[in-house]
Amino acid sequence: LDEHVSQFLDKLNESERPVLLVGGGVWLADAVDEVRELANTLRIPCIPTWNAIDAISSDFEYYRGRPGTYGGPGNNFAIQNSDLLLNIGSRIPGRMTGGVPTSFARGAMKFYVDVDEANLDPKLQEVPADVNIFCDAKVFTTALLAEANRRETKAFGPWLEKTDEWLKKYPTVLPEYYDTKGIVHPYVFIKELSDQLGPDDVIIADCGGNVVVTYQAFETKSGQRLVSSHGNSPMGHSFAGAMGACFADVKGQVICLIGDGGFNMNI
């Protein structure tokens, strides 16, 4: 582990355009706070997958969008133009890479951290890593954070400015969506809903177009949970999920986002 940590930090100081990709594994490892602290220490662009959309929230200083075929230009430019990628807790599936997996983060040296050995098997990886690190996300992040605090790490001001510029220049919810007549544009609805909700709220999204629009347009706040069934994606999941959330220790509101088809599955 020490060797991998040292190797990554050496490469970081040689890098010009590093990116931190954060996957759902950080929730499973209870490493969200450590990963956010790491991002604040390294001061590099952070890209959450859908499973980590509430771990690296939209209001986080180094948040730079969500990747993949449902990402959008401003969201994908940072990772596609990176020269160093640290991936913690994501298997990098086809929905993230697009139809040509080898083009994903095409110019970056890639470090993958995962506790599932299958996700580190070069024969199974859609996007092969340069360095595979078999380790719990919390253990790795804690070790990397400790070593980073002992070293003087490089500043990436121009890269942070450029990635922020892309995010603002190519918004997911375009201004013309607000001009739709007769109906409320779904992207506008989700964006406005996210503006209204508070940091203690829990949002449960369903499947299909419902979850795609939500996970593209919803801007998360630190403290919120935005949850879906993701790869399983059964119709109507969010209705039962929202009821389950109501029984949990939720300080704020529980919001169920569901389509007509999903809702009919529960009648």
**Rounded to an integer, what distance in angstroms lies between the CA atom of residue 252 and that of residue 196?**
13
Q: For 240-253, write each residue's pLDDT tens digit.
A: 999 999 999 789 99
Nearest-CA neighbor of 214 among 163, 243, 256? Answer: 256
Query: What three-state secondary structure class fits 190?
Result: helix
The token pair at 102 is 């080898």
Q: For 169-228, write each residue's pLDDT tens digit.
A: 999 999 999 999 999 999 999 999 999 999 999 999 999 889 999 999 999 999 999 999
228: left (phi over 0), alpha (psi -120 to 50) or beta: beta
**Rounded to an integer, what distance in angstroms lies between the CA atom of residue 236 and that of residue 103?**
35
Question: With a threshold of 0.75, does the pTM exceed it?
Answer: yes
The token pair at 239 is 């209705």
Location of structure tokens 């996007």: 127
Mean pLDDT of 99-117: 95
What pLDDT is recorded for position 72?
78
The token pair at 178 is 């607000």
Q: For 224-241, write each residue's pLDDT tens digit.
A: 999 999 878 899 999 999
Mean pLDDT of 44-64: 96
Nearest-CA neighbor of 224 among 258, 256, 250? Answer: 250
Q: For 117-143, write each residue's pLDDT tens digit.
A: 999 999 999 899 999 999 999 999 999
**Where are the strands (E) in 120-186, listed by range?**
131-134
Contact 167, 19 (CB under 8 A): no
Contact 224, 254 (CB under 8 A): no
